Amino acid sequence: MSFVGSFPHSLDAKKRVFIPSKYREELGNEFYITKKFDPYLSVYTAQDWEEYSARISALPEAEAYHLQEYILGSAQKCTPDSSGRVIIDEKLLKHASINKNVVFVGAGKQIKIWAEELWTERENTRDLENIKNLMIKYGL
């Protein structure tokens, strides 16, 4: 499975957001949202989350406890309502600077949720030459 495409949506007054219909079926009835180091949120299917979190949990605790707490401790298990909406935890929204408008961005095994203004800025400042060089380097 590979998530592709980008879809704008808005949070409602209750901090609910519609999961794009293109992603809903692939995500299933249960999925996970967590933060990463850049200001966006990562969404994983239950299966991909189990694999990802198992890899993090398997790291030596003495070395990786900050990473484990940061990623696993901020994760949110989500079950969409009958309309396909989920409530995103306030701490996650704050991390990603999300107030109202978001963009869901397919990124392979995960979906990234960006604040619309941050996503627009990222798109406008993207290093296309670097992307081109990576594509050449890896034969893409």
pTM for this structure? Answer: 0.92
Helix axes 61-72 and 46-57, enclosed angle (nearest 10): 150
Q: Which residues of 111-137 are buried (b: 16+ CB within 10 A; e: fewer)?
A: bbbbbbebbeeeeeeeeeeeeeeeeee
pLDDT band at 52 (very low <50, low <70, confident <90, very high): very high
Q: Is 65 exposed, middle or buried (0-12, 13-18, 19+ CB in 10 A)?
A: exposed
The mean pLDDT value for 84-109 works out to: 96
pLDDT score recorded for residue 112 = 98
**Is the predicted pLDDT of residue 1 greater than 80, yes or no?**
no
Whole-number Å distance between alpha carbons of 48 and 17: 22
What is the domain partition of the chain in residue ranges?
6-137
- Which pLDDT score, from 0 to 100, does residue 51 have? 96
Measure CA of the first residue to CA of the last residue in the chain; give whole Å. Answer: 19
Which CATH number is associated with domain 6-137?
Answer: 3.40.1550.20
* 116-137 confidence digits (pLDDT tens): 999 999 999 999 999 999 999 9
Q: What is the pLDDT of residues 109-121, one digit of tens each?
A: 999 999 999 999 9
Q: pLDDT tens-digit profile of 56-74?
A: 999 999 999 999 999 999 9
Mean pLDDT of 102-110: 97
Element (H, E) at 16: strand 16-18
Look at residues 139, 99, 131, 136 and name the one whose alpha carbon lies nearest to residue 115. 99
Q: Which residues are bridge partners to 111 per DSSP?
A: 43, 106
| Nearest CA-CA partner of 31 in 15, 47, 16, 20 | 47
